[in-house]
Amino acid sequence: MSSFIAPPGDFLRAPDHGRSFRARLSGVVQARFSGRFAVILSGELIQSLFHFALNIHLVRELNSRNYGLFAIVFAVGAVGITYIRALVAVPATLHLARSRGRPAATGYDVMFGSGAVLVSGISALGVSVTLVPVIGLGALAAGAFVGLYAFRSYLRIVLLARGRPRIAGLSDLVYALCGALFMARGFSGDGTVLLDQAFLAIALAHAIAIAAAFGALRERLRFSLHARARARYRSIWRTLAWSLAGVTSLTVQGQGLTLLFGLLAGPAAYAPIAATLVLYAPLRIPTSALMNMVLPELSSLLANGEVPAARRLVLRHTALIGGACIAYGAMMAEALPLIEEILFKGRFAGEPMGWIGLGVWAVVTASLLYAIPRTYLEASAAFRTITAGAVASAALGFAIMVPALLLLPSATALLGLLASELATLAWSLEAFRRTTRSSRLSRNAGAA
């Protein structure tokens, strides 16, 4: 990641207008952070717009079962992103932030890049094998989509850690444009044919976007599992083991409960909830971009012992997310009936869309409020804390959701998802408070 280097004269110049050097430095760093965030956010928003258009097209053209299958595969793709983030992207960011010199950074780049290829390939194979009995050979395209989606997510995070946000944004732009072009020119038919075409289109778009990123970097994908790379992995196996435990528990608590909902209720019952979740992409996508941007910043601040600055960064952005969720929820409360009638063509007229809209907003808001505090815990390598909280929250959500699905209308099971997210929010905030307090006390003791 690129660092700010002041011109030599700045160290000798008297403070201008009463501002200290530290304050001016903080302002410059914040301006650079805002600039990088604007670049990556624009790319995220463009691909979010494509995802929105794709989902609206499919929810209008597919029956509830086939659209539910599409939404479930997309949820599996989110699970793949979660795993690749924990197993390779987050460790890569932490080590790149602490590495000294280009040879060390290159070594970690090859090491974690090879790990990303393996995780992506295993994800793609697992999805393909699982879906072949359900949708036939179209499962190969679905598997390719999940694998390439995961790898491009890893590539984006590493590009941000290396200080290359423009290339990450370019990859997002290429993906969205190619996907939109394929959707406009290549979609025909209906049913499973249209479903297969959708998976193939977004898989090809991801592949082209990955190639564009490497082309802009003027680098090639380097895959190596030689002895040195294996030795590097063995040296951090304890961290990776806890990271894996953490992501498994988080997956069960978050996407896992959502997938369980879809599987137990069935694709048709899950379809209106999945369609409503799409409407909250304008909240999820900027938060995801913010997480990806904040992670290397927090890693760098914590590596330099700047705990107060890291704490302020977390609090500021969490408050921003909370305000955005409240404003967007109020807007959606008014607009959802019209959206259901026009965009969804009245497909879910028999469903309690008002309750579903309120439940989905509450679930999304709770999950986004703990996103940045959890990123701080990841940057602190507090994977045991993350694991414990996620396991407890998942157990609570499971205990509420499964009986609700068996005994009550399916939409009522959103209470289980909400309880799980609220428990995770409370745990994450308390863990963030304890971690920052402990770091501050340790720093004061060291200074004394």
* Domain residue ranges in the chain: 40-235, 236-439
Q: Where are the beta strands (DSSP E) in 65-152?
A: none
Q: Reduced to 3 states, what is the DSSP secondary structure of residue 122?
A: helix
Q: Hey, what long-range contacts does 223-231 have (CB within 8 A, 24 or more apart)?
A: 223/110, 223/113, 223/114, 223/117, 224/110, 224/111, 224/114, 225/114, 228/107, 229/110, 229/111, 229/114
pLDDT at position 406, please? 74
Nearest to 109 by CA among 96, 97, 100: 96
The pair phi, psi for residue 230, each rounded to 5°, is -65, -35
Instruction: Give, as one character, the DSSP assignment of residue 413.
Output: G
pLDDT at position 206, please? 93
Q: Identify the H or E element spanning 96.
A: helix 90-98
Place of tokens 């996407």: 255
Whole-Å CA distances, 223 to 108, 112, 226: 12, 9, 9
Q: Where are the beta strands (DSSP E) in 178-286?
A: none
Whole-Å CA distances, 279 to 30, 185, 317, 336: 31, 25, 22, 9
All residue ranges of the chain with pLDDT < 70 are 1-41, 43, 86, 89-90, 92-109, 186-191, 220-256, 259, 262, 345-346, 349, 439-448
Q: Within 10 A of 179 (CB to CB), how many other CB atoms are there?
A: 24
Nearest to 283 by CA among 328, 334, 337, 218: 328
Q: Where are the beta strands (DSSP E) in 375-442?
A: none
Place of tokens 């609220």: 422
pLDDT at position 327, please? 92
Nearest to 428 by CA among 290, 244, 253: 253
94-133 burial, b for 16+ CB within 10 Å, e for fewer? bbbbebeeeeebebbbbbbbbbbbebbeebbeebbeebee
* Contact indicator for 294, 372 with CB cutoff of 8 Å: yes
What is the chain's alpha carbon radius of gyration, rounded to the nearest angstrom? 22
pLDDT at position 109, please? 64
The tokens for 310 are 């890291």
